[in-house]
Structure 1
Amino acid sequence: MRKSILRKAGRPGSGLGLAALLCVALAGPGHALDQVNAAASGTSSDVGSFIAMKKGYFRDEGLDVKQTVFDSGIKMIAPLGTGDLDVAVGSATAALYNAVARGIGVKIVASNSNAPPGYGHNVLIIRKELVDSGRYKKPTDIKGLKVAMPSQGSSATAMMYSYLTMIGLKFSDIEPVYLSYPNQVAALANGNIDLGLTAEPQASQAIKASGAIRITADDVMEPNHEASVTIYGDTFIKKRPDVAQRFMRAYLRGQRFYNDALKDGHLAGPNADEVIAILTEMTSIKDPQVYRSIAPQGAEPNGTLNIPSLKVDLAFYREQGWIEGNVTVEQAVDSSFAEKAAKELGPYVRKK
């Protein structure tokens, strides 16, 4: 039985290295799976992990991944530090860097989502009434307006800072309001905020529900911005490094499968139908057409981090007084798991 599994999994083009093949063979009946406790946002930003779950990549590696949904990446840091969580997907927040500065064991281990040109997944939208009344005519007219972002010290705040700098304004020129993405949709509709920097598909929902108007997206605000990352807890890294490595292999297989769904700024590639089916099953958005119409996030198939982007974000957090102590991006990063997994899986070749 094991030989037949190995022959099937190891066929040319399968993208599985020898270590992964051995895990496939060992994950059959009679072998207990290693449990991994993961944090998720429950949105399309978790697509790589969703794919790894639904396609059986985690099980191939002998893993049983249990996901807990958090409404903010900031709330993931404490349980990662205590070992209650093993892995999380979220933005590289000020809270994460503060945890590192205090000696709490959390590490950014891989890229999760980014914003290459054409893949503007985080969208800045404005209330239609402000456009109709003439209050907003040009980008600098956002001065003095209430702008919603998911949380203080999130990568979205840094992205907004980059955009404000681009148009000649300061972060202090806006009134920041911190709301989760779903709550931004309602707040725009009832006039409690003026603009929202919100992720798809919530941005499209707000446009459809309240007539909100799209201004720009993150691929223009800060091209190739490191929007979200994969984070490991110190206990996971030090006490279960083999499990952590197997998780990364499965996760990168999910990211590569997702990349094969991307084409021309949409989910329109060879794997698009399967990815959309997974997203409609695993998220609250049940209309496949929504995912076909929006700009999806970009994803790095080898998990390679955009270190310069992380440094820009950290510099902004420090400028705002949100960083406690002296900490660098390098202190917060451990790219060894992604580098090893990418080598084990072999070079990524886009499916045509």
Structure 2
Amino acid sequence: MSLFKFLSAVCFAFSLTTASQVQAQNTVTVGIANTSADAGVLIAKENGYFKDEGIDVKLVPFASAALMIAPLATGELDVGSGTASAGLYNAVLRSVKIKVVADKGSVQEGYDYSTLLIRKDLVDSGRYKTFADLKGMTVAVAAKGAGSESALNEALKKGGLTMHDVNVVYLGFPDHLVALENKKIDASITDEPTITRAIEGAIAVKASPKAIYPGQQNAVVVYSDKFMKDRDQATRFMIAYIRAVRFYNDALSGGRLAGPTSSKVIDILIKNTKIKDAGFYRRITPAATNPNGSVNEVALANDLKYFKARGYVSGNIEVSDVVDDSFAAAAVAKLGPYKPLVASN
């Protein structure tokens, strides 16, 4: 082989290796639940926002957010999501270096996609009229130390009650509808789409026409320690994510997916989730999401206070120990202030 051919072969091999390394470096693994709560990530991928930032996203489905903690700890997963539960704080206390970096979904007035349902027959009979009537009821929440349990505590406080006044049972959200229908439980803190299905099926009704726990941070975006060390890539991911969250916000109107971008958002959700009915998406109550990405630390602190009072979290830890809003702040500095899209007539 001539020297020229040899050098050409070496250069070609080097270029292939370099391209492969660059691709590996720019591939970000993201844990999802394959539900509408993943809207921000799904929109960013489908609209090409990640691609605009030079990022190739690999979506990895998980049955629950709790299962994301271990791969986030090892760096096998770069980005995860879920609730800021007692388990998250306990993981950090065990030296798992993960951080909450952005809002993924919260409850706001008019956007109570997570709320307290009461069996309709108990309302019709007059057994339930106010929060004080929760006394003696069997109420389901998702899991011990979950945000839904803290939300139940807020509802009970409105009725002058405590957790000792109800019989709490732990059921995954998908099981709430059947349990309500079979009268195995009297009430539940649950989320969409179970809420709409229960109401439309005349199985249950909302305990209150207003949001019970406005501001509660139900879902968050979490970065692994390994991913955070590449601040440039982690910030570029956040830029794409917040662009998507703003696109999602433009789909919201009047407590529904009815804004200017709603049709596109619904198409993306239909393509990527189990619900394939566009009309149903327009009937459910969507989650609120901060267009600037920051989480509600006051609500998180309130939940943590409850977890500590119940003994679910016993270590010396505060919300500031698990939240890092610098990536969202850097993304907003790059993108500028959010300007809601106005529907054209």
Q: Is the pair's TM-score, using the shorter chain for normalization, greater than 0.5?
A: yes
Query: Alpha-carbon deviation of 1:222?
Result: 1.4
Q: Deviations over 1:70-128 (max 9, x none)?
A: 33322322221121211112111111111112211011111111222211111221222
Contact preservation (8 Å) 2:148, 2:189: yes
Aligned pairs (5 A) from 1:194-209: 194-209=186-201
Quote the Cα distance in structure 1 between the aligned partners of 2:125 and 2:88: 41
Quote the Cα distance in structure 2 between the aligned partners of 1:311 and 1:95: 15
Quote the Cα distance in structure 1 between the aligned partners of 2:285 and 2:192: 7
Quote the Cα distance in structure 2 between the aligned partners of 1:181 and 1:314: 22
Give yes or no for the alignment of 1:297 onto 2:287: yes
Query: Alpha-carbon deviation of 1:63?
Result: 1.9
User: Residue 237 of structure 1 is aligned with which of 205, 220, 228?
Assistant: 228
Q: Deviations over 1:302-329 (max 9, x none)?
A: 1012111111010000000000311011
Secondary structure at 1:32 match in 2:
helix
Structure 2 alignment gaps of length 5 or more = 1-18
Give yes or no for the alignment of 1:226 onto 2:220: no
**Please, which moves more after superposition, 171-180 or 39-48?**
171-180
User: Residue 277 of structure 1 is aligned with which of 262, 267, 270?
Assistant: 267
Aligned pairs (5 A) from 1:71-86: 71-86=63-78
Q: One-letter code of the match for 1:118?
A: G
Secondary structure at 1:111 match in 2:
strand
Quote the Cα distance in structure 1 between the aligned partners of 2:88 and 2:249: 27
Quote the Cα distance in structure 1 between the aligned partners of 2:64 and 2:164: 23
Q: One-letter code of the match for 1:288?
A: A
Q: One-letter code of the match for 1:220?
A: A
Q: Deviations over 1:253-304 (max 9, x none)?
A: 1100001111121111110111111122222221111121222111101101
* 1:25 matched residue in structure 2: none
Query: Alpha-carbon deviation of 1:135?
Result: 3.1
Give yes or no for the alignment of 1:53 onto 2:45: yes
Q: Deviations over 1:159-180 (max 9, x none)?
A: 2211211221112222222222
Identity rate, percent: 43
Quote the Cα distance in structure 1 between the aligned partners of 2:101 and 2:78: 12
Secondary structure at 2:211 match in 1:
helix
User: Residue 169 of structure 1 is aligned with which of 153, 157, 161?
Assistant: 161
Give yes or no for the alignment of 1:111 onto 2:103: yes
Query: Alpha-carbon deviation of 1:151?
Result: 1.6
* 1:102 matched residue in structure 2: 94
Give yes or no for the alignment of 1:186 onto 2:183: no
Query: Alpha-carbon deviation of 1:206?
Result: 2.1
* 1:43 matched residue in structure 2: 35
**Please, which moves more after superposition, 44-53 or 166-175?**
166-175
Quote the Cα distance in structure 2 between the aligned partners of 1:290 and 1:61: 33
* 1:324 matched residue in structure 2: 314
Q: One-letter code of the match for 2:295?
A: L
Task: Report the TM-score, using the length of structure 1 for normalisation.
Answer: 0.86
Q: One-letter code of the match for 1:160?
A: L
Quote the Cα distance in structure 2 between the aligned partners of 1:234 and 1:203: 36
**Please, which moves more after superposition, 202-211 or 79-88?**
202-211
* 1:214 matched residue in structure 2: 206
Secondary structure at 1:71 match in 2:
coil
Contact preservation (8 Å) 1:101, 1:324: no
* 2:242 matched residue in structure 1: 252
Aligned length: 323
Secondary structure at 1:88 match in 2:
strand
Aligned pairs (5 A) from 1:136-155: 136-155=128-147
User: Residue 262 of structure 1 is aligned with which of 245, 252, 262?
Assistant: 252
Query: Alpha-carbon deviation of 1:210?
Result: 5.4
Aligned pairs (5 A) from 1:341-352: 341-352=331-342
Aligned pairs (5 A) from 1:88-99: 88-99=80-91
Structure 1 or 2, whichever has the larger Rg, is 2
Query: Alpha-carbon deviation of 1:130?
Result: 2.5
Contact preservation (8 Å) 2:251, 2:262: yes
Q: One-letter code of the match for 1:105?
A: K
Query: Alpha-carbon deviation of 1:31?
Result: 7.0
* 2:13 matched residue in structure 1: none
Query: Alpha-carbon deviation of 1:233?
Result: 1.1
Quote the Cα distance in structure 2 between the aligned partners of 1:31 and 1:75: 29
Query: Alpha-carbon deviation of 1:193?
Result: 2.0
